[in-house]
């Protein structure tokens, strides 16, 4: 397995895990009280693993970096909503916030370094 495939597989697996955990969390949120947060969580995380996979397949380095910047922006917005849920004591999202932080660091560091 090449280094590129290793990074790509690791990123895809992490994105898939984060995507599933956030979708499960969104399903637990009471729709009447927090509809907008639930909606934004689901919209931001929609097809995260597919977006990461597509970003790694970009041949042009600039396009790949641009794709990862967009993905990171969505993840950071999602993290803000998770922090709100944590502060309002609606759900303990601290582990998920940590996963998002690690994943965004991982993809931003590695997105431009791959040929």
pLDDT in tens, 29-62: 876 667 788 888 989 988 899 999 998 888 888 8
Kindly report, residue by residue over 60-98, the tens digit of the pLDDT.
888 988 998 899 999 999 999 999 999 988 889 999 999
Which of 55, 48, 56, 27 minimizes the C-alpha distance to 39? 27
Report pTM: 0.80
User: Domain boundaries in the chain?
Assistant: 3-111
57 CB neighbour count, 10 Å cutoff: 11
The class that CATH gives domain 3-111 is: mainly alpha
């Amino acid at each position: 397995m090449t280094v590129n495939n290793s990074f790509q597989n690791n990123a895809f697996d992490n994105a898939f895990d984060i995507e599933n955990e956030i979708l499960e969390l969104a399903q637990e949120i009471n729709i009447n009280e927090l509809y907008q947060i639930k909606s934004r969580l689901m919209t931001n995380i929609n097809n995260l693993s597919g977006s990461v996979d597509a970003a790694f397949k970009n041949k042009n380095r600039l396009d790949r970096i641009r794709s990862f910047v967009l993905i990171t922006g969505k993840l950071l917005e999602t993290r803000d909503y998770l922090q709100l849920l944590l502060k309002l004591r609606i759900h303990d999202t601290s582990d998920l916030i940590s996963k998002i932080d690690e994943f965004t660091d991982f993809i931003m560091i590695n997105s431009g370094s791959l040929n």
